Amino acid sequence: MTIAHNLGFPRIGKGRELKWALESYWRGESGEDALLDAARTLKQRHWRLQANAGLDQLPVGDFSLYDHVLDHSVMLGAVPARFGDFGGEIDLDTRFRMARGRAPRGKDADACEMTKWFDTNYHYIVPELVRNQQFRLSSHELFDDVELARQIHASPRPVLLGPLTWLWLGKVKGQAFDRLDLVDELLPVYADILERLDRQGVEWVQIDEPILVTDLPVSWRYAFETVYRHLAGRGPKVLLAT
């Protein structure tokens, strides 16, 4: 059986609507509700375009207001301490402060580092990793988007940045340590995400691990077997993408 799908869709909008909505919000000319409405409109428009083109699965979670790596840092609760102490859902302005150092609300702080995504012209916000770091599910946006996409298409396919690629893209801060030491703390959050998606009735999840096409150290190659054995059977079928 042939299945038509793609790995993601450009987020900015045909008329660069995302750019204008973000700049209006950052200048204080519009509020958070207007920005989120603009984002929702773009998501729905893009899903309809793909559904009308005959795709059997719709990628969900590929949209971002700023950067998908940053979104995963937020979802995993990996927010540097200088941005505040959070016990619940991490708000939108914290995300922007991490990216830009400032936002309409919240105290200014040094922005996280930005660097090129695998030597392309796309730049991502570098995750900051510290020794004995703890992770927790801190954003439910992906699950909300699954339900929103279902209003347009019966088969949404959530897109996740894989745990090993996320760690590989991160930078150690403070005392030196091996980034792979954080795998055991990170995996329960990914398992929780997969189990929640399974309860939503999701059949397939796309996990992006682009570091698989790079020349990885032996320890990182072995880590893939450990990680994906742990995640196997946690819920939806996995489409591993590079």
The ranges assigned to domains in the chain are 61-241
| Orientation of helix 183-199 relative to helix 218-231, angle to 10° | 30
Residue with tokens 């949209």: 63
pLDDT at residue 86, as a whole number: 74
DSSP 121-153: S-EEEPPEE-TT--------HHHHHHHHHHTT-
- Per CATH, the number for 61-241 is 3.20.20.210
The beta-strand segments (E) located in the chain are 58-60, 114-116, 123-125, 128-129, 156-161, 171-172, 204-208, 237-241
* pLDDT tens string 85-124: 777 899 999 999 999 999 999 999 999 999 999 999 999 9
Rounded-to-integer distance, Cα 6 and Cα 111, Å: 33
pLDDT in tens, the chain (242 residues): 789 999 999 999 999 999 999 999 999 999 999 999 999 999 999 999 999 999 999 999 999 999 999 999 999 999 999 998 777 899 999 999 999 999 999 999 999 999 999 999 999 999 999 999 999 999 999 999 999 999 999 999 999 999 999 999 999 999 999 999 999 999 999 999 999 999 999 999 999 999 999 999 999 999 999 999 999 988 999 999 99
Q: Which residues of 153-174 are buried (b: 16+ CB within 10 A; e: fewer)?
A: bebbbbbbbbbbbbbbbbeeee
